[in-house]
Amino acid sequence: MKANRPKRDVHPDLARERLKCNFNIEEVTNIIDGGKDKTLERKKIEDIALNNGACLDEIPDECLSIKERYENAIRKSCIYSNIVRNEMLEITGMENFESPVLRRTADAFFKDISPFMLHLGMFVPTLIGQSTPEQMAEWLPKALDMKIIGAYAQTELGHGTFIRGLETTATYDPDKEEFVLHSPTITSYKWWAGGLGKTANHCVVMAQLYTQGECHGTHLFIVQIRDLDTHMPLPGIKVGEIGPRMGFSSADNGFLGFNSFRIPRQNMLMKHAKVEKDGCYVKSAKHGKLTYGTMVFIRVTLVSEMSFNLSKAATIAIRYSAVRRQTELRPNEPEPQILDYPTQQHKLFICIATAHAFQLTSKWLWDTFQAVMADVRKGNVDALPELHALSSCLKAVSTSDALSHIEQCRFACGGHGYMLSSNLPFIYSFVAATRTYEGDYTVLLLQTARFLVKAWEQAESGNNVTPTVAYLNRTANTKRVVWDNTHEGIIQSFQAIAAGKIGQCVRSIRDRIKSGMDYEDAWLMTTVQLVAAAEAHCRAVLVNTYWNEMIRLTKSSSANVKTVMHQLAVLYLMYWALEKTGDLLKYSSVSKQDLDDLQRRYEELLAALRPNAVSLVDAFDLRDEILHSSLGSYDGCVYERLMEEAQKSPLNAEPVNPSFHKYIKPLMQGKL
Ligand SMILES: CCCCCCCCCCCCC/C=C/C(=O)SCCNC(=O)CCNC(=O)[C@H](O)C(C)(C)COP(=O)(O)OP(=O)(O)OC[C@H]1O[C@@H](n2cnc3c(N)ncnc32)[C@H](O)[C@@H]1OP(=O)(O)O
Ligand SMILES: Cc1cc2nc3c(=O)[nH]c(=O)nc-3n(C[C@H](O)[C@H](O)[C@H](O)COP(=O)(O)OP(=O)(O)OC[C@H]3O[C@@H](n4cnc5c(N)ncnc54)[C@H](O)[C@@H]3O)c2cc1C
């Protein structure tokens, strides 16, 4: 089903906006993509994937039933996978199967989500990160070639966060050299895994490993759950879909139970720990948490995923705000574009800046992740705790911030933002899930807090700490940092806030222990503060990284690109400084006058960015197919598209709905 899209002239308001642009859009796009060659490659891939119109739907997803939606998503997933397999991977290289370009083009095919997303997103990365070379040779080519389709089944009905509490068992039987998978209780049923309900024929399962009568904790196993020919669940497997949810409607999130289901010994993913033929358990020599590697990988990728989603929402809301006019400011004057309202700019410009902040930080985080993984491969796991702390807090804060900014984008579009055809509700519900999955917000910040408390104690006793907390060496023993309204000053203030909060947590824990609590209770009682301290640390990392990366990446840019990129980064610093005035008053010497000045400069910056706003979102270079939005298309023909989408409502298929004759008319006639 291909839909023909009428070509329209660009709305005059948007055309005028584009004439105001004073910087080279392509240069900014290159910075976001990571270089000119990357932009060219992305465009080439987008042309291959999208130019033939296979991604377009005649009937909008939201007008389909649950079953139709799933079937349509499968149809398109197969078309898309074929394009990826036959044409796109040739350009990116097989090893870059998780390239952001593939993720971006996938969004043109799926307004919601592909049932195959978890296959490429988690199943394949788990094979890569957790298999021995022999296992990799066996499974990976099949998975990349879509000969097998997998899911990642870790969470259970009873436990998601507390992995050590998972109940599924994998008991080794040395006589048959097999593991017996079993779900002993209803709460041990696997629950939530994307693609598991109806699509996958294999999955990675996390289960408690028992061998020689002893439990060795959770390990990963690769399990075939359906017949490859008939697709029927194998005997001993109970599998299905978990039912309608807020988003992820076409992801067939599933449940899975095992009734003494047997798999060969070789199906335990044994890169980090293994079970010998005789049942002898050999522990990971490196680090006990390496089996959690896929989660760390996804947390790292989610930061750029948040940038992408926020850039979509910002593009939609800013283009719409340039076209939408509302309220006479003065009698008989034309109504202004709503983008001219400073309150609208306050809602939206931070979204552009945040998309940049997350994008640049995500590249830095990705490089850090790669470097740590290279060390791990050589047997050095020293940097793993820092990577875990960093990826945990950046995942938590980026998903949470993206979610609230996307909601602001929806508010910024008034009533029309509530329409599914605007795509904002889809983007919102997709991002809402990211705050929970791969580790809930609070839980992950508490992981970072554990690391920060240890780092504080090291810094306090005069020892050097790892790079991302190096500011503790400078600030751990300082009471209040001297306020300075330059970018360096603001960054240092964020570091002082983080250090101040971590220090306060340590003191609270110590005071509670002194007053008779044990460490666990003292920690528990301090967790509200610990979450706030970890968030503050994350903000310090974000402002510092964004600033440094922006300076580094614009070194050879033209003057106006430097200026506009600089303005966005300053806006980001000021926005968060103003959001955190209470903390600044507590941990720096900032005065009321300084804060008033900051507010004024922030408002001036909004005005300075205003003429470039539309071009800044054009620089995200998101094709209409990817935006899927009646409000955000490049041509800005908002009202025509809203009307066009309204016509597609199934309720408009007939002039009179049968319910009139069945119910309303009898009611009107008193015959009901
Ligand atoms: C086409 C391209 C595709 C791209 C795709 C991009 C988009 C991706 C979309 C993906 C869609 C995903 C859908 C969702 C999937 C899922 O949600 S899968 C399930 C995810 N589940 C979780 O994340 C659970 C969260 N819980 C945990 O991570 C852990 O249980 C815990 C909270 C960290 C605690 O673990 P536990 O085993 O109880 O450990 P502790 O005893 O508390 O800690 C011991 C020490 O170990 C440290 N530690 C914990 N985890 C790690 C780690 N991963 N790495 C390193 N270290 C770790 C911990 O901090 C403790 O340290 P100390 O303080 O030093 O003791
Ligand atoms: C759309 C979606 C897709 C998913 N896909 C998958 C998948 O493919 N595979 C898979 O295995 N899983 C998947 N999940 C599951 C997901 O990983 C879990 O839901 C997530 O890790 C949270 O765990 P939970 O649901 O057990 O929440 P809970 O841990 O029960 O959290 C409930 C509340 O308790 C709080 N809480 C819990 N523990 C603590 C603590 N120690 N300290 C303080 N507060 C705490 C949390 O902050 C939260 O507010 C998916 C989830 C969603 C929503």
For residue 384, give the ligand 1 atom closest to its CA. Answer: 55
Give CA–CA dist 305/302, Å, rounded: 5
Cα three-residue angle 167-172-175, rounded to 5 degrees: 155
Q: Where are the domains of the chain?
A: 119-283
Give CA–CA dist 281/345, Å, rounded: 60
Give CA–CA dist 449/456, Å, rounded: 10
Of the candidates 568, 668, 574, the residue with the CA atom closest to the CA atom of residue 617: 568
What local confidence, expressed as pLDDT, does residue 3 receive?
A: 47
- Calculate how far, in angstroms, residue 667's C-alpha sits from the geometric centre of ligand 2: 48
Q: What is the value of pTM for the model shown?
A: 0.97
Asked if 98 and 148 count as a contact pair (C-beta separation under 8 A), the reply is no
Write down the H helix ranges in 418-526: 424-436, 441-460, 471-475, 487-514, 519-525
What local confidence, expressed as pLDDT, does residue 281 receive?
A: 97
* Site residues for ligand 2, CB cut-off 6 Å: 118, 152-155, 159-161, 192-194, 248, 253, 433, 436-440, 442-443, 446
Give CA–CA dist 537/531, Å, rounded: 10
Q: Which ligand is nearest to the CA of 117?
A: 1
**Which of 167, 407, 438, 645 is the catalytic position?**
438
Q: Which CATH superfamily is domain 119-283 in?
A: Butyryl-CoA Dehydrogenase, subunit A, domain 2 (2.40.110.10)
CB within 8 Å of 551: residues ≥ 6 apart: none
Q: Which of 159, 440, 526 to mutate to test the pocket of ligand 2 (most atoms within 8 A of CB)?
A: 440
Give CA–CA dist 378/376, Å, rounded: 5
Give CA–CA dist 472/499, Å, rounded: 6
Chain-centroid distance of CA 353 in Å reads: 17
What local confidence, expressed as pLDDT, does residue 94 receive?
A: 65
Would you tell me the crossing angle of helices 25-33 and 36-50 to the nearest 10 degrees? 90
For residue 288, give the ligand 1 atom closest to its CA. Answer: 46
Asked if 487 and 569 count as a contact pair (C-beta separation under 8 A), the reply is yes
pLDDT digits 0-9 by tens, 168-200: 999 999 999 999 999 999 999 999 999 999 999
- Calculate how far, in angstroms, residue 439's C-alpha sits from the geometric centre of ligand 2: 6
* Site residues for ligand 1, CB cut-off 6 Å: 98, 102-103, 106, 118, 120-122, 152, 154-155, 160-164, 194, 289, 292, 295-296, 298, 301, 305, 384-385, 388, 437-439, 443, 447, 450
- DSSP per position, 220-273: EEEEE-B-TTT-PBPTTEEEEE----SS-TTS--EEEEESSEEEEGGGB--SS-
Residue 77 φ then ψ, to 5°: -60, -40
Write down the ipTM of this complex. Answer: 0.98
CB within 8 Å of 305: residues ≥ 6 apart: 103, 434
Which residues of the chain have a pLDDT value below 50?
Answer: 1-3
What local confidence, expressed as pLDDT, does residue 6 receive?
A: 63
Instruction: Classify 341 as helix, strand or coil.
Output: coil
As a whole number of Å, the CA-based R_g of the chain is: 27
Q: Which ligand is nearest to the CA of 255?
A: 2
Q: Which of 89, 95, 295, 626 to mutate to test the pocket of ligand 1 (most atoms within 8 A of CB)?
A: 295
Q: Which ligand is nearest to the CA of 440?
A: 2
What local confidence, expressed as pLDDT, does residue 289 receive?
A: 87
Asked if 350 and 394 count as a contact pair (C-beta separation under 8 A), the reply is no
Asked if 358 and 310 count as a contact pair (C-beta separation under 8 A), the reply is yes
- Calculate how far, in angstroms, residue 282's C-alpha sits from the geometric centre of ligand 1: 22
Cα three-residue angle 381-387-390, rounded to 5 degrees: 160
pLDDT digits 0-9 by tens, 325-346: 999 989 999 999 999 999 999 9
Report whether 194 belongs to an annotated binding site: yes
What local confidence, expressed as pLDDT, does residue 2 receive?
A: 43
Where do we find the tokens 């990365």?
A: 125
460 is catalytic: no
- Calculate how far, in angstroms, residue 257's C-alpha sits from the geometric centre of ligand 2: 19
Q: Which of 289, 390, 454 to mutate to test the pocket of ligand 1 (most atoms within 8 A of CB)?
A: 289
Of the candidates 390, 356, 304, the residue with the CA atom closest to the CA atom of residue 573: 356
Instruction: Classify 337 as helix, strand or coil.
Output: strand
